[in-house]
Amino acid sequence: MMQQVRGWVRDARHIAVLTGAGMSAESGVPTFRDAQTGLWAQFDPQQLATEEAFRANPSRVWDWYAFRRELIAKVQPNAGHEALAAFAQRHPGRLTLITQNVDGLHQRAGSPGVLALHGNIFEDKWLDRPGPCCNAEAAARGSPPYCARCGNLLRPDVVWFGELLPPQAMAAAEEAARICEMMLVVGTSGVVYPAAGLARAAAGRVVVVNPEPTELDDVADAVLRGGAAHILPQLLEED
């Protein structure tokens, strides 16, 4: 099966890749709930990752994300991240990388033009519409930082529960699914929508790479059982 899928990779003029939490788990990135340790064990992450929670207690939510940033900063891209980046660099414009992960590991590995559907935990944005006085680089220090003139707060640039995905990134991902001749679905259970819907809308062959069964196996033309760090280097290496 591996050789057959390698042939599909060689022949595909455009490849879309959709990655999920399993991709980063192999690097040691703690899952959403695994980050609930120590002080944070008493909190439900789904009650922290909302705009309502941030407005109610911005310091608590900001500190939790600061804690998660510290955990993620300690890990490195794995061989799967590196294989995707190397392929994209060898074949400019041929691969579109779409990720549900907020850890920035694809970007750190060198993948260009990553479509981060759920944002990036290491970036911030203003909670409310920024005014002329809102300059993130000059934000007053605090937990969270804020505009000293109007009081607008900075928040992590991630998609919280109840929020829409960034429209430009989602539109680009949908276009990649529409034109791809092959889609690799890597390390995602296939239960989170609308991201999972991209695989079901893919125009080309769908290949699932995951050590466990997923909700997208039923639309796959091939399923490669294994982790991304093991499978992707074999799949994307040059002959």
2 or 176, greater pLDDT: 176
Q: How confident is the model at residue 238 (pLDDT cuts 50, 70, 90)?
A: confident
pLDDT at 230 over 60: yes
The distance between the two most distant Cα atoms of the chain, rounded to a whole number of Å, is: 61
Catalytic residues: 118
Q: How confident is the model at residue 235 (pLDDT cuts 50, 70, 90)?
A: very high
Which residue segment(s) compose the domain that 144 sits in?
30-74+124-158
The reply to whether 152 and 173 lie within a common domain is no
pLDDT at 227 over 60: yes
Place of tokens 């992960």: 101
The reply to whether 211 and 102 lie within a common domain is yes
The reply to whether 174 and 230 lie within a common domain is yes
The reply to whether 233 and 175 lie within a common domain is yes
End position of a domain, from candidates 136, 158, 180: 158
Q: How confident is the model at residue 36 (pLDDT cuts 50, 70, 90)?
A: low
The reply to whether 172 and 58 lie within a common domain is no
pLDDT at 30 over 90: no
The reply to whether 228 and 191 lie within a common domain is yes
pLDDT at 83 over 90: yes
The reply to whether 152 and 205 lie within a common domain is no
The reply to whether 68 and 182 lie within a common domain is no
- 234, 4 Cβ separation under 8 angstroms: no
Q: What are phi and psi of 236, to 5 degrees?
A: -105, 0
CATH number of 50's domain: 3.30.1600.10
Looking from the CA of 95 toward its CB, the CA atoms found within 13 Å total 22
Mean pLDDT of the chain: 93
Q: How confident is the model at residue 45 (pLDDT cuts 50, 70, 90)?
A: confident
The reply to whether 34 and 54 lie within a common domain is yes
Total structural domains within the chain:
2
The reply to whether 21 and 113 lie within a common domain is yes
Under 8 Å CB-to-CB from 117, ≥6 apart: which residues? 98, 99, 100, 159, 165, 166, 169, 170, 173, 195
Proportion of the chain above pLDDT 70, given as a percent = 95
The reply to whether 70 and 81 lie within a common domain is no
Whole-model pTM: value is 0.92
Convert the chain into a string of H (helix), E (strand) and C (coil). Answer: CHHHHHHHHHHCCCEEEEECHHHHHCCCCCCCCCCCCHHHHHCCHHHHCCHHHHHHCHHHHHHHHHHHHHHHHCCCCCHHHHHHHHHHHHCCCCEEEEECCCCCHHHHHCCCCCEECCEEEEEEEECCCCCCCCCHHHCECCCCCECCCCCCEEEEEECCCCCCCCHHHHHHHHHHHHHCCEEEEECCCCCCCCHHHHHHHCCCEEEEECCCCCCCHHHCCEEECCCHHHHHHHHHCCC
Q: What is the rounded distance in angstroms from the CA atom of residue 21 to the CA atom of residue 41?
A: 21
CATH number of 236's domain: 3.40.50.1220
Pick from 75, 56, 54: nearest CA to 65: 54
The reply to whether 128 and 232 lie within a common domain is no
Looking from the CA of 189 toward its CB, the CA atoms found within 13 Å total 5
